[in-house]
A and B are shown apart, each in its own frame.
Chain A
């Protein structure tokens, strides 16, 4: 069965500092990988996704993530944090094939705080 582990339920950075949110997955075959962001009292918004091809994926709002098969990781980074990045971030996986294709399995989430 697939699973996702997000290291750190809370991460705090200063404005302008590097953002690094960690995600490791477990899957018998290479899955599709996603990062979603949830702002307070809102639904989830897709930041970026990895399906095939280039392992470094660029998303919205300056975020990017790198798929590392050998480390089963898909960490999310942003070079310089903005106050508006404060939100909860979820890593997710889904099957490439089969009946469960498309169903997202989420990590527990990481709440990002940005200090002025």
Chain B
């Protein structure tokens, strides 16, 4: 158990819909990272937050957005969902940049 929790574990929805994935980092970790794992794209970095502020963006689509709240939990919002958005979405946390990242168990999103 990494100490990072993600909800829900599984999510099935339809094209065009909007979903929110939630992540609670390990106690004391200020950085939160979101990654997408799909069969064709592999593991891709999406976005990083540090203590409530966006720190860096990776290959995140404009339809996707995220935020980190004062209690340090983070949410990833995916809108106008397409079939190709079906993937495993991982959250990771660390004390700060370049410290070891601890990964959550992931949320498996299926878009039908």
Contact = CB atoms under 8 A, between A and B. Distances in A.
A106 B2 contact: no
A45 interface: yes
A102 B103 contact: no
Interface of A: 32, 36, 42-46, 49, 51, 90, 94, 96, 99-109
A46 B55 CA distance: 22
Interface of B: 2, 4, 31, 33, 35, 42-45, 48, 55-56, 58, 90, 92, 94, 96-106
Contacts of A51: 98
A94 B98 contact: yes
A107 B44 CA distance: 9
B41 to A, nearest CB: 9
Contact of B101 (A46, A100, A107): A46
27 contacts: A32-B98, A42-B105, A43-B2, A43-B4, A43-B90, A43-B103, A43-B104, A44-B90, A44-B103, A46-B101, A46-B102, A49-B100, A51-B98, A96-B98, A102-B31, A102-B33, A102-B48, A102-B56, A103-B33, A103-B45, A103-B48, A103-B56, A104-B35, A106-B42, A106-B45, A109-B42, A109-B43
Contact of B100 (A46, A100, A105): A46
B54 to A, nearest CB: 10
Contacts of B96: 102
